[in-house]
Structure 1
Amino acid sequence: MLLILAGCAARQSEVQDEDQALVLKEVRKVTFQGNNQFKAGALRKAMASKQRPFFPPWGRGEDYNRSTLDADLKRLQKYYFDRGFLNTQASVASVEENEEKNTVEITIMIDEGPPTLVKTVRLVGHIPPELPPEDRILADLALQAGARITKADFDRSQAQLTVMMQDVGYARARVVPRTEVDFEAHEAVVILELQSGELTPFGEIMITGQELIKERAIRRQLRIEPGEIYSADKLTRTSDAIYGLGMFRSVTPLGTNFEAEDEPLDIEIKVQERKPRTIEVQGGFSTVEGPRFRAAWIHRNLFRGGEQLTLEGRGSFISQEAQATLNFPYFLVQRTSFTQTLSARNDQLLAEALGVIDPQPDFDLFSITSVSRIDHELSDYLTASAGLELSYNDFYSVNADAETEESTEDNLLVIQFAELTYNTSNDFLNPTRGLLLRGRLDHSTTGLLSDVSFTKFELEGRHYWPIWWKMIFATRLVLGSIQPYHTTSSAEIPRNVRFFAGGPGSVRGFRLNRLGPLDSDDDPVGGNSLIEGSTELRFPIAGQLWGALFLDFGNVYSTPFTYHLDDLRYAAGPGIRYLTPIGPIRLDIGFVIDPRSNEDFARLEFSIGQAF
């Protein structure tokens, strides 16, 4: 028995020794030599042999394994290859072991070699006659002569050509690439063969995945019809329209019979429904409003037709509001929606802190408002809207001054409005190309219970133009005027109707609402004419971080249809943006050009979303 126990003890000791021997060394550090084109951090991300992280401090690097390191050398060569360096070689310069700490430090030598440049790009095969001329197609491709041949540009060019052909009806189009590389001259000829196939109509359109919402409600959002010539753009717009109902987590259109070359393309639209009721809580901060919050309860699919009821409250240092919104995505006819909104809003400065100033020092305002609105899509880019806005506006804590008396009287307004919007911009939160034109006309008359009679119009234009590399040149112009009539004078136009300018969404560098007519206390009184404009150059810095240079101008005038261009005020400055899924986080510094004695020289503005 003693011999057996002794044998077991010896065996256990051997197992423990083997386990200790199997403890692998930690990769403490990975360094590079010869990498001039790409930073070490980017190269480390391509490797499986990860070094010890800087944060958290207790983090551990990957276990050192020579076979993994050899595979990493191939990964590094592929990293360079995909970015136009076809002859790059990677080798291990040294592996320094620290037996005491059980770590290794790896040094990798990179022989980058010269980049391979695109000599020419050629299109062969069947180029559909519906496409633009060949020189225009080539000019729009990511692959350009003289640039490095990269996998990203290669794949993007294939996708661009495929989408071009699909947009004009060739649903089964393919692009077959071929590359001829001269390794001595470090040049490449790229040949892209277009195989368009035949024009393809849409076939059967199926909708799957819905349980709570009626299929008819989804079909009302379709922008495609069976028998219509295929269009990738219209299919995308269909997905966007269905997703815009707010009922679904995802909307995925799929072609189900791509292999059937001579048949119409059947489409299956897969939807994944969201929970019918949700609670949302959000918080934020801006230099105009200070801390702000929003809480909402949303009931989707109220009557199983995609209707949505939203009850929400929001507040900040300068305003507080409760609102109920009921939306019907289908109203009487296709592409028409109806929205009813009821709200109670209090515009009052709660705290003058964190740089927040009172936007209206002469008064506080409590408003109860009802808005009934109909929107109709005239085309994919053009929307017409009309409605009725009924509001009661109670001014309180009014500065007892003759300058404010007529324009701060409590009022009842019954406003009929019409709006026309043309929008080709490619993104709601962060557009990079396209055009937005908007015109709105408001009308109020004492003949329909309003306390004042006036017409008010606003015209706005925005243009986003990619000019070079990833730079975006954005411009904006706004014109507005209020024309009183009947027994109403310009001085009687209420403050809650007048135009104001200045601030982060207007002319940056000026305090909120402080650009335009001021009273004897330098407080804003607003006006009946408005002109505003902006030019902004947006450019990438690193990753999601972007920079901007802007020039804003504008002014407000007391009388209707008055635009004195020699009285325009200007501000300019730099800004940075960090792109997020909910919109860019924006920081701007606006410097007032030729500031007056009662104006700041510059202002720092922090907010979420592009200025325009």
Structure 2
Amino acid sequence: MQVKAGWYWTYVLALFCSACAIKPSTVAEPDSEPRLPEVRTITFQGNAHFSRWSLLGVLATKPRSAFSPWKRGEPYNPATVETDLRRLKKFYFERGYLEMSARLEAVREDPEANAVDMDIRIEEGEPTLVTAVDITGTFPLGIPSKNRLLGSLVLRVGQPINKADFDQSQAILLSHLQHAGYARAQVTPRTEVDPQAHTAHVSWDLKPGARTRLGEIRITGAKQVRERAIRRQLTLREGQLYSPKALEKTTGNIYALGMFQAVNPQARNLGEANAPLDIDIAVRERQQRTFQFGLGFSTIDSLRLQIEWIHRNLFQGAESLSLSAKASGVEQGMEVRLNLPYVLVERMSFTQTLFATNHQKLELAPFDRLDELFNIEDPFPAFDLLTTGGRSRLGYQLAENLTSWVGLELSRNDFREVDIDALEASEEEIAKDNTLLLQFAELQWDTSDDLLNPTQGWLMRGRFEHSYASVLSDASFVKLLLEMRYYRPLRRHTVLAGRLMIGSIQPYGESDEVPLNVRFFSGGPGSVRGFAINRLGPLDQNGDPIGGNSLIEGNLEWRFPIVRNLGGAIFIDFGQVFDQSFTYHFNQLRFAAGPGFRFNTPVGPLRLDAGFIIDSRADEPFGRVEFSIGQAF
């Protein structure tokens, strides 16, 4: 059994240990060489198009940081400085300034402080502009027209010739050829530069070769998982036309089994023209059994503790069994889950879950102080709810990007701390204890490129639920929820993301209302930011949310990089919950907007959003700051 701590606290512990590490002291010998002076400051002169911070990032010679004044700068070494000047020239050259020059203007010494201050003079020169972009060679079947290909390139006429855009444009052309089945295609660039006019003519020559079919597909590295279980996840077949998308999908399917640390597909005979392409899929297995724990924080849950034991390979077919428990300031629960990736036929899976969840805000001193500091709200202040039950779900992959699920969920829902006096007489039924047997069906079409941080593609899904009072349930209703997400990459690694969700619940038969645990709620960091969790929609007489039978939400967000793993976002959200079924009053929609920051981590981006209510009312705050993990959508 392998024990793993949560990634966050492992990282914090590593930082703590590195900060507290004790290094053995050294005593300088009388005849030892004197210490090189530190570089205290570096000043750039003549840099009109790039900031000082951008240029400092290129250098190996780093001055003393203003943010860490207790740390010394790099030692002054003339040989390293000469290399840095060449790095600066390369930096400018790759951004279209082909005649740039850099020299060390001055080095001012301070013998008492054993430090130097450096001045670097930059002559940027004129940028070399792209005056023409062309594509030549063979345009085979299956790829877009020449005009559409030119339109897809990021290197554009009128802009400085930029190596990043140049390389990305070449990769785009090669991708089009490979996705059309030309695995051995070549894209040869050609650039004609006029140094006198500072212009460049760029072209790429397409050499697709013959369409490639797949040969032998081998799987290597599997010791604990049967090869047959891995092959069930393949979307590739011998004799099939080569497809990078199918290869990527296969890799993702094998990863999704949960038993592999790495899945690496490689072509064995890429250099053999016209031969079927043989593929090796090398896998590296994980430990079969692990125990994990994690501690986190968000402005929804406050402090959150989670522990989990998991067996990933029960019967040597990547079948998994997990036992988990979680506790936070607003929710506590336990879950047992059995997942079978293969049932009856290929592409069919089965999951059985037993669960117990308690929605109750804990009144404990640590939580109270955090709640006050971060303005954490109770998601369901009108009631506490204990839910126990089980869920059986059968999944089937209908097509490459289309998946369906059907199942049953039986639950017992017991309400506590309900203020009946705050409800209208017609609403008292919604807070009664109930037993529900749900029959549900889901359909999802997903072409997005990443589960945690998508940058392009569509995700559309729908869920249908039904409960009938004569079959174990205490209420009769149908519930429909539809969601659409779209991600579009823009220039300079920015992404435009949009989301629209609409749903409704219709009671029927002898049921006039649906229970609180079935109704829609809106507001919060994963919904309409700026509003507290679940605070958007119908309220009881105490001003607490009681949900409704119809929901509409929408989000539009522009995501952009700032520096390294830090990114930013600007968003506008809208939404509303309505009491009646299939009722949407667009003049009652509420809007919020604001900025946000994202810090990318291996488990998804850490997210900080400041949402401001556009039409704020007298009895509500103007907005909220929310901290959580994962994109909003």
Common topology (TM > 0.5): yes
1:502 aligns with 2:523: yes
CA RMSD for the aligned pairs? 2.2
Tell me the CA shift for residue 149 of structure 1: 1.3
Moved more, 203-212 or 544-553: 544-553
The one of 590, 596, 601 aligned to 1:580: 601
Rounded Cα–Cα distance in structure 1 between residues aligned with 2:356 and 2:341: 24
Tell me the CA shift for residue 455 of structure 1: 0.9
Rounded Cα–Cα distance in structure 2 between residues aligned with 1:42 and 1:526: 50
**What is aligned with 1:452?**
475
AA partner of residue 436 (structure 2): L
**What is aligned with 2:105?**
93
Q: In structure 2, the residue corresponding to 1:606 is in which secondary structure?
A: strand
Per-residue deviation, residues 67-95 of structure 1 (Å, max 9, x unmatched)? 33322222221121112111111112123
Moved more, 276-285 or 107-116: 276-285
**What is aligned with 1:200?**
212
Rounded Cα–Cα distance in structure 2 between residues aligned with 1:109 and 1:598: 59
AA partner of residue 502 (structure 2): L
Moved more, 251-260 or 501-510: 501-510
Per-residue deviation, residues 484-514 of structure 1 (Å, max 9, x unmatched)? 1222112xx1110111122222222223222
Rounded Cα–Cα distance in structure 1 between residues aligned with 2:73 and 2:299: 42
AA partner of residue 407 (structure 2): G
Rounded Cα–Cα distance in structure 2 between residues aligned with 1:97 and 1:481: 74
Q: 1:250 to 1:393 in 2, by over 3 A?
A: same
Rounded Cα–Cα distance in structure 2 between residues aligned with 1:206 and 1:291: 47
**What is aligned with 1:302?**
314
Q: 1:272 to 1:70 in 2, by over 3 A?
A: same
Check the 8 A contact 2:154/2:491 in 1, yes or no.
Answer: no
Consecutive unaligned residues of structure 2, counting only runs of 5 or more, are: 1-28
Moved more, 449-458 or 121-130: 121-130
1:606 aligns with 2:627: yes
Tell me the CA shift for residue 424 of structure 1: 1.6
Tell me the CA shift for residue 542 of structure 1: 4.0
**What is aligned with 2:355?**
343
**What is aligned with 1:3?**
none
**What is aligned with 1:374?**
394
Check the 8 A contact 1:317/1:356 in 2, yes or no.
Answer: no
Q: 1:175 to 1:608 in 2, by over 3 A?
A: same
Check the 8 A contact 2:392/2:408 in 1, yes or no.
Answer: yes
Tell me the CA shift for residue 152 of structure 1: 1.4
AA partner of residue 399 (structure 1): D
User: Identity of aligned pairs, percent?
Assistant: 52
**What is aligned with 2:433?**
410
Rounded Cα–Cα distance in structure 2 between residues aligned with 1:362 and 1:278: 39
Q: In structure 2, the residue corresponding to 1:446 is in which secondary structure?
A: coil
Per-residue deviation, residues 164-218 of structure 1 (Å, max 9, x unmatched)? 1111111111111111101111111112111211111011001111111111111
Q: Aligned runs of 1:12-91 on 2, under 5 Å?
A: 19-21=31-33, 24-53=36-65, 59-91=71-103
Rounded Cα–Cα distance in structure 1 between residues aligned with 2:282 and 2:502: 44
Rounded Cα–Cα distance in structure 1 between residues aligned with 2:496 and 2:208: 35
1:115 aligns with 2:138: no
1:396 aligns with 2:408: no
**What is aligned with 2:458?**
435
**What is aligned with 1:11?**
none
Q: 1:603 to 1:64 in 2, by over 3 A?
A: closer
1:249 aligns with 2:249: no
**What is aligned with 1:13?**
none
Moved more, 38-47 or 234-243: 38-47
Tell me the CA shift for residue 595 of structure 1: 3.5
Rounded Cα–Cα distance in structure 2 between residues aligned with 1:434 and 1:163: 16
Tell me the CA shift for residue 518 of structure 1: 1.5
**What is aligned with 2:15?**
none
Tell me the CA shift for residue 444 of structure 1: 0.8
Q: 1:128 to 1:392 in 2, by over 3 A?
A: same
Tell me the CA shift for residue 254 of structure 1: 0.5
**What is aligned with 1:533?**
554
Q: In structure 1, the residue corresponding to 2:470 is in which secondary structure?
A: helix
**What is aligned with 1:320?**
332
Per-residue deviation, residues 12-47 of structure 1 (Å, max 9, x unmatched)? xxxx88x54575444444332222222333333333
**What is aligned with 1:177?**
189
Rounded Cα–Cα distance in structure 1 between residues aligned with 2:115 and 2:577: 69
Rounded Cα–Cα distance in structure 2 between residues aligned with 1:269 and 1:261: 21
Q: In structure 2, the residue corresponding to 1:560 is in which secondary structure?
A: coil
Rounded Cα–Cα distance in structure 1 between residues aligned with 2:577 and 2:335: 30
* Greater RCO, 1 or 2 (C-alpha within 8 Å, sep 6+): 2
Rounded Cα–Cα distance in structure 1 between residues aligned with 2:55 and 2:420: 68
Per-residue deviation, residues 378-412 of structure 1 (Å, max 9, x unmatched)? 11211111111111111122224364532122211
AA partner of residue 364 (structure 1): D
The one of 343, 350, 357 aligned to 1:331: 343
Q: 1:554 to 1:96 in 2, by over 3 A?
A: closer
**What is aligned with 1:7?**
none
Rounded Cα–Cα distance in structure 2 between residues aligned with 1:318 and 1:384: 32
Check the 8 A contact 2:289/2:310 in 1, yes or no.
Answer: yes
1:280 aligns with 2:303: no
